Amino acid sequence: MSVHSSASIKRITTHILQEMKQRGEKISMLTAYDYSMAKIVDSAGIDIILVGDSASNVMAGHETTLPITLDQMIYHASSVVRAVKRSFIVVDIPFGSYQGNSSEALRSAIRIMKESGAHAVKVEGGAEIKESVVRILSAGVPVMGHLGLTPQSIYKFGTYTVRAKEDAEAAKLLEDAKILEECGCFAIVLEKIPAALAKKVAETVSIPVIGIGAGGDVDGQVLVMHDMLGITQEFKPRFLRQYADLQQVMTDAFKNYIQDVKSQDFPNESESY
């Protein structure tokens, strides 16, 4: 049945995502940051749209996710919400808006939910942010966790290489996943960790585990839209499958337009009044 027919549109919920895990149906998730792209990805039938703080990189051109602000995340999220009819929309709480202060975490989550109309928030970390996670959940806001390579901690890690290859870090990650599940998180993202560890986490916790660079034995996959569309050509990690070469397609279109303007081919008579 087409997801385009308005009568047939059934919104994805945390309950539906849980059922998908139980019956072994993989969950599809992509990032989006603006109205036009969100409309296309929602119509294509994606299950979850993540308004990621990767907007800091792909939309604003920053080197890391750290500079993006809560106001900027709310702006992106509300643009996405206006476009979407079916997908479940999750919004990253940005760096500095939830760590170390659970009251601020709650305030940030409530601002995102109230001002954007999104359906859930995502936070990075395990035991260290437990108090913030519990506080946000107590207000009825669904929380998605994020473990492994957590880009908001990039200056602690020092590199973007695979995380949790050593036993101690792998054990802590598994423990953190259990803590997030016990707190009541509805799902967890695992970024750039060994596939065997991701499989173990997905088998251990009952909530959906969505991977990015975490192998195929998890409950779903997420990619950054601009990377999978080939808009960000300079970023080509091993886990990324590029589904289009939009940089080439767009460059060709721009060059053709410039050529047509210069040669006075555009506009022609049928394109004029």
Which residues are at the interface with ligand KIV (CB under 6 A)?
31, 50, 52-54, 92, 146, 189, 191, 212, 222, 224
Q: Residue 66 carries which side chain, given as an amino acid letter?
A: L
Cα separation, 227 vs 57, in Å, equals: 11
Residue 253: HSE in the Cβ half-sphere, 13 Å Cα cutoff? 6
CB of residue 154 to ligand KIV, shortest distance in Å = 12
Cα separation, 220 vs 208, in Å, equals: 8
CB of residue 272 to ligand KIV, shortest distance in Å = 43
Main-chain phi, psi angles of 222, to 5 degrees: -130, 145
Q: Which residue's CB comes closest to ligand KIV?
A: 52
Phi-psi sector, 148: left (phi>0), alpha (psi -120 to 50), beta: left
Instruction: Please identify, using beta-carbon distances, which residue of 181 and 191 lies nearer to ligand KIV.
Output: 191
Instruction: Please identify, using beta-carbon distances, which residue of 74 and 212 lies nearer to ligand KIV.
Output: 212
Instruction: Please identify, using beta-carbon distances, which residue of 235 and 266 lies nearer to ligand KIV.
Output: 235
Are 188 and 147 spatial neighbours (Cβ–Cβ below 8 Å)? yes
Cα separation, 222 vs 181, in Å, equals: 19
Are 97 and 108 spatial neighbours (Cβ–Cβ below 8 Å)? yes
Is residue 191 among the annotated active site residues? yes
The one catalytic residue in 104, 115, 169, 191 is 191
Confirm or deny that 124 is annotated as ligand binding: yes
CB of residue 111 to ligand KIV, shortest distance in Å = 18
Q: Provide the annotated binding site for Mg(2+).
A: 53, 92, 124
Q: Provide the annotated binding site.
A: 53-54, 92, 122, 124
Q: Provide the annotated binding site for 3-methyl-2-oxobutanoate.
A: 53-54, 92, 122
Catalytic residue positions, numbered: 191
